[in-house]
Structure 1
Amino acid sequence: MFEERKRVFVDLLGWDIPVLAARYEIDQFDDDDAVYIVITDESGEHCGSARLLRTDRPHILDSIFPHLCDAPPPTGPAVREITRFCLARRLRARDRLATRNRLVSALVEHALQNGITTYTGVAEWAWFQQILAFGWICTPLGLPNAEDERGLSAMRIEISSETPCLLRQSGIFSQIHLMDLDRAAA
């Protein structure tokens, strides 16, 4: 997962972020409180992943991008920030779409199982428009940064028992079986 994050965010997108051992994209938010949703193929290879950060402590939106919000970003025990949404570069377009849909479905399942009612995040304008089109309740937290050619935008995504139905209508959602590796190892 950290290798793929380096391939996507550093090699492909050119982000200026930390790289460990010239191989892994790991930053200050990859700590014991981060939660990772990882989609793998049959052989266990990484296909897609996302990192979830608690918002009752420093996170990307409040620490690095607060200027993207018209008001303080949502925080609290039922709010998580989605970061490092990453799809493996090796996947063909059809497989990338299927992995994206599985990852979004897993994020919704995780939220519903863990009492998360709100996700926040930052996305470049093109990706933000896709997220809006998924069909869930997603609203901007401010206007895109006009000085940034990427058009970074902050968002809020509401999660409720209705979210799977909303995403199913747009062909995104499918039931996912989540495995908790911490509990499986215990």
Structure 2
Amino acid sequence: MPSRVRAPRALESKAFRAMFAARKEVFVDLLKWDLPVLAEQYEMDRFDGVDAEYMIMLDGEGRHRSSARLLKTDRPHLLDELYPFLCDGPLPSGPTVREITRFCLDRHQNATERRLARDQLVTALAEHALETGITDYTGVADLAWFQQVMRFGWHCSPLGRIALLEGRKLIALHIRIDDRTLDGLRTAGIYQPRTLKLVAGEEAANER
């Protein structure tokens, strides 16, 4: 049974409620992941604390389009606590490394809208890294998603071998961010500039 998690102050924000609800629809309802659900509406786990940061993309009416959670790697995160067996060598970590988790594309979009939302969020992740001194992203992905990420045009490589876990083929990934990253996204046809705001969990209640 999933463990219960405490509701963060982020639920006082409409944007955050939309994101956590979208995560529940995608990861729990659609993909059937065994994850905690708060109030039968919001997918949240113990990593959704004050140290987590989020990118949330909304449409003109405030509805969720896509989002991602960034976890600091010099603090507890998924790869080092839950999936260390996916890494063959040392896990990239430190103040300039973030773990991308819960990359979520809203289900209430058609294929074209989802593709645009995906590309805008990928671009925002790259631009945010360049603006803030992030040099690396890590993450855990299903094999099919990893194969997509590899084609985005940035420098992405596996951290270990594919592992079969509860019927899912999982792999750890490592993305390097440098001055060639945006050109790579452009060449691959991914680059879609969009202004997004990164909000720390502690500040979430101030976002309306």
Tell me the equivalent position of 1:168: 186
1:178 Cα deviation (Å)? 2.9
Normalised to the residue count of structure 1, the TM-score between the two structures is 0.95
1:167 Cα deviation (Å)? 0.6
Task: Answer yes or no: is the 8 Å Cα contact 2:56–2:196 preserved in 1.
Answer: no
Q: How does 1:122-141 map to 2 (within 5 A)?
A: 122-141=140-159
Tell me the equivalent position of 1:72: 90
Give the Cα–Cα distance (whole angstroms) in 2 for the partners of residues 108 and 173 of structure 1: 10
Q: Which amino acid aligns with 1:32?
A: V
Tell me the equivalent position of 1:85: 103
Post-superposition Cα deviations, 1:15-62, rounded to whole Å, max 9, x if no partner, equal 001000111000000011111011111111110000000000110000
Task: Answer yes or no: is the 8 Å Cα contact 1:66–1:72 preserved in 2.
Answer: no
Q: Which amino acid aligns with 1:79?
A: V
Tell me the equivalent position of 1:114: 132
Give the Cα–Cα distance (whole angstroms) in 1 for the partners of residues 144 and 46 of structure 2: 26
Give the Cα–Cα distance (whole angstroms) in 2 for the partners of residues 119 and 5 of structure 1: 21
Post-superposition Cα deviations, 1:87-145, rounded to whole Å, max 9, x if no partner, equal 00010000000000001011111111111000000000000000001111001000101
Secondary structure of the corresponding residue to residue 147 of structure 2:
helix
User: For 1:25, which of 43, 54, 72 is the aligned residue?
Assistant: 43
Q: Which amino acid aligns with 1:33?
A: D
Post-superposition Cα deviations, 1:132-173, rounded to whole Å, max 9, x if no partner, equal 011110010001014653210000000112101001101101
Tell me the equivalent position of 2:171: 153
Q: Which amino acid aligns with 1:57?
A: R
List runs of 5+ in structure 2 lacking aligned partners.
1-18
Tell me the equivalent position of 1:52: 70
Counterparts in 2 of 1:15 and 1:180: CA distance versus 1, 3 Å = closer
Secondary structure of the corresponding residue to residue 169 of structure 2:
coil
Secondary structure of the corresponding residue to residue 85 of structure 1:
strand
User: Structure 1 residue 5 and structure 2 residue 5: aligned?
Assistant: no
Q: Which amino acid aligns with 1:7?
A: E
Give the Cα–Cα distance (whole angstroms) in 2 for the partners of residues 106 and 52 of structure 1: 12
The answer to which structure, 1 or 2, has the higher relative contact order (CA under 8 A, 6+ apart) is 2
What percentage of residue pairs aligned between the two structures are identical?
A: 54
Counterparts in 2 of 1:40 and 1:71: CA distance versus 1, 3 Å = same
Tell me the equivalent position of 1:98: 116
Secondary structure of the corresponding residue to residue 163 of structure 2:
coil
Counterparts in 2 of 1:12 and 1:147: CA distance versus 1, 3 Å = closer
Secondary structure of the corresponding residue to residue 80 of structure 1:
strand
Task: Please give the root-mean-square deviation of Cα atoms over the aligned residues, in Å.
Answer: 1.5
Normalised to the residue count of structure 2, the TM-score between the two structures is 0.85
Secondary structure of the corresponding residue to residue 67 of structure 2:
strand
List runs of 5+ in structure 1 lacking aligned partners.
none
Tell me the equivalent position of 1:15: 33
